[in-house]
Each structure stands twice: as structure tokens, then as C-alpha cells.
Chain A
Amino acid sequence: MSVTLTAPSTPVDPEHPRFWALPSVRFGVRRLRRLLISLWVLVTASFAMIHLIPGDPVRGALGPTAPADLVAARRHALGLDDPILVQYLHYLKGLVTGDLGTSLASQLPVSDVVAQRLPATLTLAGLAFLTAVVVAIPLGVVMGVLTRRGRGRRTELAFTTTSVIVATIPDFLIGVALVYVFGIQLGWLPVAGDATAPAYVLPVFSLAIGPAAILARIVRVEMVGVLEADFIRTARAKRLPARAIYVGHALPNAVTAALTVGGLLLSTLVVGTVLVENVFAWPGLGSTIVRSILTKDYPVVQAIVLVYGVGVLIINLVVDVALALLDPRSKIRED
């Protein structure tokens, strides 16, 4: 192993560190590196997916009775006859130019399929996350205040138990229950499609309830911790009204941890659309990917996996950056 000696460091003015030594710049570089590595892993995995399938994917897709020349033609169309490295480079080139291949089922460009389906999924996930946050943060703050410093043991137990149970229920089961209660028994809300505004209610809540329970629990725990912090005593010494202390001083500090978990929840939530979309016949990526897996329409599957994966990476990035802005110290912490 070669040893690199650092150049004898010239004394750096601590008030004005050099550009590359700035905490925010170092954070940016580190974060960008991680993003690029993850992106590379994701792209490679999505490329490799089709090659990892045991046997001939085209033969598998077309069935054992398909004529050999059709299989050969399809293999050629997919570029599967080229050396693997050529295929990989071809795939990367396609991604850069926005060419995601052609759907085997519909013969449409995959990018068109994705573009057509993506908005419905994004809307669903976005609304669900918003709902979860809007429900969870006030709930968590109130529970935190009620159970601070060992108060309200019963409230705490009831809340914790309920939230654990609710958080464990998978979104598609919540969806089925909501369909039964509000769609069938009460007949209040439509249970399929995204044509009207009321049609959004059930899918959004199916997705939001679980994350809201988890988030509220975390906000509560964080609030209880933050309310014991010295700076809360300082805020009280400033004689701020209770609301200003809880919302202005405690919440921002409780939210940093909640945000980390919230980001994780958001990425689970985005992928969770796959199941919920299938409960509610939602015309998004989730129903498309399942249909494509069943019909072995591999280019579409590859593309949608990639879209979900990129979505997750973007969410993680946004969370980290938001965290750095909210809690300036987190920039300095190495992970």
C-alpha cells in the first residue's frame, strides 16, 4: 500500500477555511460520491436483472411453443446476441439519451409508458406523504407534550400500543378494509381509478396511515427527549408562551430525527404504491409493473424498477440535504 503524505499544511485561517475544507463543500462532495455509487449499483442491477433470469428470458416470455425464428428475432431485437459488455454500454447509452427500450407487449417506447404512468403514482405518493406528515407531526407533538418527563403513563402506553399495531398493518390490507367499509358498506367513496377527487381519498389514506403511525411515534419520542434539553430551559427562561416553546424551539429539533425516518418512510411509501395501486386499479407505475412482470415484458419492468430506485435515491438525497440545512451540525458528522 502506498503511503500518501499530505503536503505540509500551511496555517489556515480558521475563520476563512479554504473552499474544499468548508464543511458544506465537504458534505456535498461526500454526499455526491455516495449518490453516484448508489446510482451505478442501481443501473447495473437493473441491467443485470434480465441476464440473471435462469434460462432464456425470451424463450420464457414467449413460451415453449413459440417458433425458434421468432425467439431468435426477439433476442436480436433486444440486443441479447451482442457480447455482454456491448449490451451494457448500449444500455447505459440508452439511459443517457432517454431511450429505455421498447415494450414487448405493446411495442411502444418504454419511456412513453413510464411518462404516461408516472404522474398518477407521484401524485398518489406525494399526497399520501403529505397526509401522513400533516397527521403525524401535530399528533406526535401533542403526545410528546402530554407524556413529557414521565407524565401520562397510561396515555403513553395506549398511544404506543396503538401506533405499533397500526404501523404493522400492511397498506394493501388497510386498503381492502377501507374498500369494504367506505366503498361497499357505506358507499361513500369510489374504490377504483383516479377520475375524480373523491377517488383519491381511499388510496391516499391506505398509504398514509401506517407511515403516519410510525412518524407520530418518532416525533413523540423526540419531543420527550428535546423537552428535557437545556435550550428548552433557556427558551422558558425567555418566558416564551408554551406554544412558542413547543413549536418554535422543540419541534425543529424533534423533526430532524423524524425527517430521517420520514425519508425512509417516503421511499417505502413510494414503492408501497405498487400494492395499493393494485387494490384500487390506480393507473400508475405499480399496476403497470405487476402486469409487466406477469407478461414478462422485461424492458418495462427494468425501466420501472429503475424509476422507483432513482426515486428512492432522490428522496434520500433530499432528506440528507434538508437535514443539513435544518441541523447545521449534521454536515460535520461523518457517517
Chain B
Amino acid sequence: MQGRWRRVVRTPLGLTATVLVVAVVALAVLGPMLWGSGAGAVDTDAILARPSARHWAGTDNLGRDILLRVLVASRLSVLLALLATVISVVAGLLLGSAPFVLGRRTGRLVAAGVNTAVAFPGLLLALFFAVVFGVGATGAVLAIGLAGAPAFARLTQTLVAGVAARDYVAAARAMGIGRFRILVRHVLPNIAEPLVVNATIGAGTALLSFAGLSFLGLGVQSPSYDWGRLLYEGIGTIYVNAPAALAPGAAVLLAGLAFNLFGESVAKGLGVPVAGGLRGMGPVRAGSASGPERTGRGEDAGDRSPEVVLDVRDLEVTISGPSGPVRPVRGVSFDVRRGEAVGIVGESGSGKSMTALAVTRLLADQGRVDASRLEFLGNDLLAPDTTARRRTLGTTLAMVFQDPMTAFNPTRRIGAQLAEVATRHQGMSRREAMARAVDRLTAVRIPDADRRARQYPHEFSGGMRQRAMIGMGLMGAPALIVADEPTTALDVTVQQQVLDLLAEIRDADDVALILISHDVTVVGEVCDRILVMYAGRIVEDLPAADLATAARHPYTRALVDAVPDMNTDLAEPLATIPGRPVDPADVPAGCAYADRCPLADARCAAEDPPLAADPFGPGDPSGVADPSGLGDPAGHDPAGSPRHRVACWHAGEPLPARPEDRNIDDLVESP
């Protein structure tokens, strides 16, 4: 508790506000005692005098010293403001807790009344009550107090409703304790803190409002005076003696701000602290020192051919996290050829989505992207943005995101969101672009596309939105579609439609596809080649056809085994991979999978295996991988069959337990 209060004082603003509040309260207590007689002293020789050594802020129309009057007025000003605040809080508490005490029907009526009153500005309510209670200090206190009540009532209502839903209130109710008793015993103590904080802010507001009413001549009346009254008198003579208006104005402002800011600081200090000092890219905490060097030894993506659409070498992504930079992608190399479908699979946190965002240049705000090469159709994606590059990417690189519910701008019509690509990058007129959008929506089998194009995203179903998103990518002539978990957020029934659509587009237009998924079956079904990612690296790159039979990395094999098929014995628990995925902030030295791997030995824990061509080719499960990792450098089979790369010291070695005769305890976490 003390620590929380200390936090209030520690911020510069909080400290200033605290000092000011203490000063204002001290002034209110001491001011009239010290200067009371001086402030009343009439000096007929110095009527309406300008500031002088004797009267720092000049004198009023009776020759009284204005500065002293401002100092003395602090008591009445603060006192009246506090009285008004008390009225606001008490009335607000009564009105706000009424729904709780009175039960649903009467309560709803009170709540409706409060809601109606809250809609009107406080000053209007204050004027209303000022008329009813009459001009003068008493009337103004009541007016400002009652005018502030609806806001407090609303606050109380919200707070009470929050506490009333808690278990101990329900328990007290079940014990038959009366509602009023519950309110006093259980509810009010729990909402006291926010109420007090808001009352402090309210006191500042009341002080300023009171000055307003007095300034209008509706508040404190002569011969009494508060700051507002002094301002009212001073403004009339502002041309003669400006300080007569400025001094009380400054006083009321300072005091009002003090209460307001003190309340705000306390509210902030008592709330959840905002963690600071997260900025900057300090030393990477883990993973980088022990990670693979970014030179030749590492992953080899093979020769570049004109057929290559996307070429990625040594891709690294660094993100500043709460405890230092984290590297979710640690040196990834691959390429994608024209018309090729490449799947990227891995558990959440394996870096697959980060890879997708990095290669599509969409990570700009979140992290730093490094690579020795990152090219899309010959465009360097690491170079700065230009209009021409934007145009190329905008028309040839399409993205499909995971959650179609949030990927569309909710405030714009679907058709307009598609058409934007064409007007922006293809120089089409609005009308042409719209026609193209409707055409593209039809192409992705949105029925009644003409009408649908004029609808908003929320009027589309999830599957339709995802298809529309694909249609958006088809506005240009895409060479590559990057689909990041495109079916995860969809119903099972529409998942297949979306996958079929992607496959169809690919076949028809020779479009390359990167499909990111945690679902190895989906990827195996759609893709030609599969990249298996683990802890920010590619651990295996293999033809999809080899997935079931010739996967060589123990992780890939475990992923495949974890998928139930027709032969799975449903009486036994389904296979899972024991252990947890690696935390990107804390990547171990050596092979990241070693902890969970049944084949791991001392070398695995010490040395991270490079991603290298699988020297034994598909279908040879007997051999041990070339320890140098430098087998066939290009990874290309002379016959031109698909490449197969793997990063494992024990690639292809038989696992201790194969699916047919597996020892369940090895593969399954204890239930």
C-alpha cells in the first residue's frame, strides 16, 4: 500500500500535484488567520491602484489589497468546493447504489433517470439548480453539488455492479443478509478507493465550476468573496488593473489543477503500473550466441534460377520484448519457385508466422528484419519503400491472414476495399476498379457478388470473408500468395472450400503459394514442399510426398505421428509430442529440439546441426547423416527430383518406438 502511494509521489507530475494540494489546503487554513484583517483594510487613498510595492496586485474599488484578498479567499473557495463535492458524492452514492438496494424495477427507473441526467452537461444542471435554489453561496453549493451527482451516480452504479457480481456478495446474499447490510458491509468498502480518487478529481472540478458560477455573479455575493467573485470584480477593471483579474484567475486555476492532477496521479499510481524501459535493442538474451553463424555453413537454399519467385537467405527477425530483444526467427533460408506450393509447419511460437510477415515486408513496426538476401521477383525487400516497389508488391504479392473477422476494415464496404488495390496500383478509375472487384469476388465464388460488394465485412460469413480476402489478392496478377493459417479460424466445413480455392488459383495461373499452418495434414494435402520449423529455424525441408514415409527429422516424424489416421487405435490416447515448445526468449544451445527428442545425445545438446541436404535421399532410413553437413551443397538430386534438407545429427535413425509398436509412455504425456 505504501509503495503504491510512493509511486504517486515519484512521478514529477504527481509530486507537483501533491505539493500544490498541500499548499492550497495550508493556505485555506492559515490564510484568513494571517491576512484576514489586512485583506479587509480599506485604503481610500489608493482606490483601484495599479500594482506597487505596497500592493503587489493593486487594489480594488475600496482600496483593499487584491493579493491579500486572493490569499484569504482560498478558505471560502476550497470550503465551498469541498462542500459541493460532499453533496455530489453523497447524492451520487445514494442514486448509484439504489439499483442494488431497491431491486430490479425501481432500480432500473433510477438508473434510467441517472443516464438521462448524465447526458446533460454539468453547467446546464448547475444553472438549473442555481435558479431553483436562488443566487448566492448556499444556492451555488447545492447547485454544483447536485449537478455533479449524476456523474458520481453513474460511477457508483458501475462499481457496485462490478463488486455485486463477486462470489462473496453472492455468498452473503445466499446467507439471507439484507441488501442494505451487504451494501454497507461488503460493497462500499470495496469501491471506496476509486470513489475517493474520483472525489478528489471532483473537488478540482467543483472548485473550477464554483469559480465559474461566482464569476457569472450567481455564486458568492458581496461582501463575502471567493476567487470567482474576485475575478468577477477584477474583470470589470481589467483595463485599469489587469492583475485584479489575473491573480484570482491564476489562484483558482492552480488550485483546481492541483486537485485534479492529484486525483489523476493517485488514480494512475493505484492502478496497474505501466512497465517502462523496454525500449532499445540491447544484447540478445539468449539463442544468438549459441545459434548458427550466418555464413555458408548454415542453411543452403540451392542455386537461384530465373524460376525463383521468392529467395530468402539467412533471415533473422529480432523483436524488442519486455526483457530484452527476442529472436523468433534465427536464420532461415529457402526459396519458392513459380507455381510451387510451399507449406511451413510448426507449433505456435516456431516462428512460421514471423517468417511470413518478414518475407512479405509486413513486420516494419514490430521488429527488425535481417537477411543476407531477401528478394521477391528480383525486388530487394530490404531496400526502402518506393512507389514503384509498392506497386509491384501490391499487384504481385498477395496475403491471406488467419482471422478473416478482423482482417477487413469494419468501416468500409468489401468492394471498396478490393477496388482500392486497383485504383491505387493499376491506375483504374473507381468504376473500373469496382467492376474488377465484383469480377474477382465472382472468381472466388462469392454468390451475388454485385450486391455483396456493397456490403460491410460484418455482413459476410467467415468463410466468405476469407474468400473475399483471397479475391483481394487476385485484384492484381499475383506471383505469390502467402496464406498465414488461412483456415484456422474457420469452421471445419468451410476450411476445405478455402483450401480448394487456393489450389485452384494456383493451378490456373501458375501462382506460387506459401501456406503456413500448424496442421501438417492440411499442408501435406495442398503443398509440393514442406518446411518444418522449430524454434525459429527450418529443421527439415522435404517434398510433401515424402512426409508420411520419408521424413527424417525426429520432430517431423513426431508431428506426422501425432495425426490420427484410419489405423489409429481410438481406445488408446492420441499421440502427442512430450515436453513444451521452446520459448523464443530462451533458446538453448545446441539443437533446440534436443530436450524433447528421443534420439538426443551429448552432441545434440552442444552443437546445433546445420540444415543440409539429406545425403541418403528419400527412402533410405538406415544411414546416419553426414556429420559434416556438407553433403550435396545444392541439395539437388541430379535427376531433378525434389530437394530434401534436414537439420539433425541423427536424421533418419530409427526412433525408439515406431507407431506400429510404440510404447505409449514415450510419446504421450501422462494423462
Contact = CB atoms under 8 A, between A and B. Distances in A.
Interface in A243-275: 244, 248-249, 252-253, 256, 267-268, 270-272, 274-275
Given A148-B365, A293-B131, A301-B131, A326 B411 contact: yes
B208 A37 contact: no
A272 B126 CA distance: 12
A239 B245 contact: no
A294 B215 contact: no
Contact of B256 (A45, A168, A238): A168
A309 B200 CA distance: 28
Nearest to B406: A230
Interface in B19-64: none
A135 interface: no
B256 A237 contact: no
A239 to B, nearest CB: 3
Interface string A215-259: 000000000000101110111111111001000110011001000
Given A153-B279, A271-B121, A279-B235, A49 B212 contact: no
Interface in A281-304: 289-290, 293-294, 298, 301
B123 interface: yes
Contact of A168 (B13, B124, B204, B397): B204
A168 B261 contact: yes
Given A149-B366, A172-B212, A173-B252, A328 B123 contact: no
Contacts of B472: 234, 238
A54 B136 CA distance: 14
A249 B119 CA distance: 30
A182 to B, nearest CB: 13
A202 interface: no
Interface string A48-68: 010011100000100000000
A308 B411 CA distance: 32
A329 interface: yes
A231 B406 CA distance: 6
A253 B411 contact: yes
Contacts of A240: 390, 394, 420, 424
A231 B409 contact: yes
B582 interface: no
A116 interface: no
Nearest to A277: B216
Contacts of A150: 278-279
Nearest to A191: B238
A170 B126 CA distance: 15
B246 A275 contact: no
Interface in B238-261: 238-239, 242, 245-246, 249, 252-253, 256-257, 260-261
A154 to B, nearest CB: 10
A92 interface: no
Interface string A291-335: 001100010010001001100110010000000001111001000
Contact of B411 (A49, A170, A328): A328
Given A173-B249, A267-B120, A290-B218, A184 B238 contact: yes
A168 B205 CA distance: 8
Contact of A241 (B121, B208, B390, B406): B390
A161 B239 CA distance: 33
B30 to A, nearest CB: 25
Contact of A236 (B135, B204, B362): B362
How many chain B residues sit at the interface, stated as a range, is 35 or more
Contact of B401 (A53, A234, A272): A234
Nearest to B399: A237
B128 A252 contact: no
Contacts of B216: 274-275, 278, 290
Contacts of A49: 128, 131-132
Nearest to B132: A52
B279 A231 contact: no
A153 B408 CA distance: 30
A169 B387 CA distance: 45
B81 to A, nearest CB: 13
A32 interface: no
Most buried by A among B217, B249, B276: B249
Contact of A294 (B122, B135, B409): B135
A165 interface: yes
B407 A176 contact: no
Contacts of A165: 257, 261
A180 interface: yes
A134 interface: no
B264 interface: yes
Interface string B209-236: 1011001111000000000000100010
Contacts of B366: 149
B123 A231 contact: no
Interface in B585-621: none
Given A37-B116, A275-B123, 9 more contacts: A37-B112, A165-B261, A233-B362, A238-B472, A240-B420, A244-B424, A289-B127, A293-B127, A294-B218
22 contacts: A42-B120, A53-B134, A150-B279, A168-B257, A170-B208, A176-B231, A176-B249, A234-B469, A241-B424, A249-B412, A275-B216, A290-B218, A294-B217, A298-B131, A305-B128, A305-B131, A308-B124, A312-B121, A316-B119, A327-B411, A328-B458, A332-B458
Interface of A: 37-38, 41-42, 45, 49, 52-54, 60, 148-150, 153, 161, 164-165, 168-170, 172-173, 176-177, 179-180, 184, 227, 229-231, 233-241, 244, 248-249, 252-253, 256, 267-268, 270-272, 274-275, 278-279, 289-290, 293-294, 298, 301, 305, 308-309, 312-313, 316, 326-329, 332
